Amino acid sequence: MSARPVLGIIACNRQVGAEYAQAVMNRYAKAAMRHADCAALLIPSLPDYMRADEIVGRLDGVLLTGSPSNVEPARYGEDDAGEGPFDPDRDRMMRDLVEAVIAAQRPLFGICRGFQDINVALGGTLRRDTATNGELLSHHTPDGTLFDAMFDHCHHVDLVEGGMLASAYGASALDVNSVHYQGVGRLADGLSVEARAPDGLVEAFSARPNGAPLLAVQWHPEWSVDGNEESQTYFRLLGQALRSEL
């Protein structure tokens, strides 16, 4: 039996009782391993103890997941404190991972915070009003909404003709879940828009830095993925990328 590709998945620093642990929600790992048909290893966000370029060459690609934490505003040039929670070590590790993955010509995929991570690492900025700006769609449910109900909050996105997503779905639009307080402000140079919300907010982007595919979405395809053909398509694209077929 031939070996499956190995996906590196970034971990977050999460408090568990009195201590901190490296954590990834199971839904990200299970969705990737099942629908991209790959093995997976967790990448600790412990940049004082390991370097991204030590491990990227041993992986077939990297996934940056969503997280309750936000990117620190100083990472994209803002001088105010912003609203946490923050995970500074994940910020450092994701920056180094993006650089190392691109240099190693490996695929890079992102979901929600991972989408924002990639934009910031490549020089873009974030906006922090996607749940409160009356000129935008509501991109997050009101505070106090039950956890499962948050992921029932959906809106329409238009797919860019000729893009990776439009080609994969054979469609011009999707309905996606929307669970984010922040989003793209200025899109980083070199990234191409793959999807926009009706209010103009960028919801997905792609690139081929050094030839390998980069694809990130603001929504959560890992949520209830087993019953959702559209969500599975995102992870099948990941599987193709890991096998140099995308």
- pLDDT given for residue 1 in this prediction: 59
- pLDDT given for residue 131 in this prediction: 73
Is-catalytic flag, 112? yes
Is-catalytic flag, 12? no
Query: Which CATH code fits 6-242?
Result: 3.40.50.880
Condensed to tens digits (0 to 9), the pLDDT of residues 17-67 reads 999 999 999 999 999 999 999 999 999 999 999 999 999 999 999 999 999
Is-catalytic flag, 161? no
Tell me, yes or no, if the pTM score tops 0.85: yes
pLDDT, mean of residues 77-90: 92
Q: Chain-wide mean pLDDT for the chain?
A: 94
pLDDT, mean of residues 163-170: 97
pLDDT above 70 covers what percent of the chain?
99
- pLDDT given for residue 86 in this prediction: 97
Catalytic-role residue among 72, 194, 203, 222: 222
- Report the amino acid identity of residue 209: P
Catalytic-role residue among 112, 139, 155, 180: 112
Reported as half-sphere exposure (CB side, CA atoms, 13 A), residue 239 has a value of 17
Handedness of CA 136, 142, 143, 145 (dihedral sign): negative
- pLDDT given for residue 154 in this prediction: 87
CB atoms within 10 A of CB 94: 29
Reported as half-sphere exposure (CB side, CA atoms, 13 A), residue 242 has a value of 29
- pLDDT given for residue 178 in this prediction: 86
Condensed to tens digits (0 to 9), the pLDDT of residues 224-246 reads 899 899 999 999 999 999 999 99
- pLDDT given for residue 130 in this prediction: 78
- Which residues, other chains included, contact 83 with Cβ-Cβ below 8 Å and sequence gap of 6+? 70, 128, 181
- Report the amino acid identity of residue 40: A
